[in-house]
Chain A
Amino acid sequence: MHELAITQNMLDVVLEQAKEAGAKEVGKINLVIGEMTGVVKECVQFYFGFLSQGTLAEGAALAFTVVATKARCRVCDKLFELEEFDWACPYCGGKEMEIVAGKELFVESIEVE
């Protein structure tokens, strides 16, 4: 649901950097999105089509790297992927953990002409 605002913000970041680099055209945008953010790629793609019209980024390809939700067990310190409905460490059964990946939401790089 928040993809419209996120796409607009992403486009602002991209255009600012492209302008700074003196680019004529943005060919590709590489995005990193954590699973926990709930950002739906298809929605970003859809809004991007509209929002980028008439900008340097019009027609740019979007590439998504999705980062799985990972936690570190506070008991045995091991890393694991957080399961949907069972929040326990698969190694020691510990129930206390710190989420260390899955909240990412950034523009990694752009490819420009």
Chain B
Amino acid sequence: MEIKILKDILGANEQIAERNRRLLDSQGVFAVNVMSSPGAGKTSLILETIKSLKGKTKIGVIEGDISSSMDAEAIGKAGVPVIQINTGGACHLDANMVNNALDSFPLQDIELLFIENVGNLVCPAEFVLGEHRKVLISSVPEGDDKPFKYPLMFDIVDAVLINKIDLLPYLEFDVQAFSQAIKGINKKAEICQVSCVTGEGIQQWVSWLLTEMGRK
């Protein structure tokens, strides 16, 4: 006997993500899922954002890594609440891991939550966490062909930050072609050029972020 199912394989994850979203909403917290390949600058960008919004917006961070707590320690030094999730081998965060982390997170003390995903351009694209916005960091040394290689990731995000633009004079990276490819499939994506070393572009990113928080 054949039984028609037509059910999303990741439907259970989506249900938990919806629960996370409701919890965040009830606490007035705006959550951003930060994704990139390893070493593109997720932690650096979060640290720059914390610096830029100091005294203005109360921030918290969930750090996702396969192992280690180095990133969480770096964030902790910046004086914001942080919790580390070690996925123990899994290449992405899922809604359930975030749900467990939210249970012990001081949500009442924050307005903006960064969820730093595991460095990977494939798997995190499939797993919603309950975030309000998805942000992708793509850095200059990775090359300008990434939208073609990881179309799903570029298609689902709300913003793409081109990081390490201080290296543009030394590397071949066509910002215009890169941006055009993203805009081609993802019309609404905000594209910001930033450098976490020189601070260039951080203001543009932060102002986009604050606008989105207001729009939630």
Q: Which A residues fall within an 8 A CB radius of B?
A: 1-2, 4-6, 9-10, 12-14, 17-18, 21, 23, 31, 36-38, 69, 71, 74, 82, 84-85, 87-88, 95-99, 103, 105-113
Contact = CB atoms under 8 A, between A and B. Distances in A.
From DSSP, what is the main secondary structure of chain A's interface residues? mixed
Given A6-B126, A109-B5, A85 B148 contact: yes
Contacts of B2: 109-112
Contact of A9 (B4, B9, B145): B9
From DSSP, what is the main secondary structure of chain B's interface residues? mixed
A2 B117 CA distance: 14
A97 B7 contact: no
A5 B185 contact: no
Contact of A107 (B5, B152, B187): B5
B184 to A, nearest CB: 5
Interface of B: 1-13, 90-92, 94, 120, 122-123, 126-127, 145, 147-148, 151-152, 155, 180-181, 183-185, 187
B84 to A, nearest CB: 20
A1 B91 contact: yes
B148 A2 contact: no
B123 A99 contact: no
Given A6-B9, A9-B12, 6 more contacts: A1-B120, A9-B10, A13-B7, A82-B151, A85-B145, A106-B9
Closest 4 CB pairs of A and B: A2-B123, A1-B91, A36-B152, A107-B5
A111 B151 CA distance: 33
Contact of B183 (A71, A96, A98): A96
Contacts of A112: 1-3
Nearest to B11: A13
Give the interface centre of B2, B91, B120, B187 by most chain A CB atoms within 10 Å.
B2
B9 A97 contact: no
B89 to A, nearest CB: 9
A9 B128 CA distance: 14
A64 to B, nearest CB: 12
Contacts of A13: 5, 7, 9, 11-12
Contacts of A97: 184-185
A17 B123 contact: no
A99 B120 contact: no
A99 B6 contact: no
Nearest to B4: A109
A14 B7 CA distance: 9
Contact of B7 (A85, A107, A113): A107
Contacts of A17: 3, 5, 7
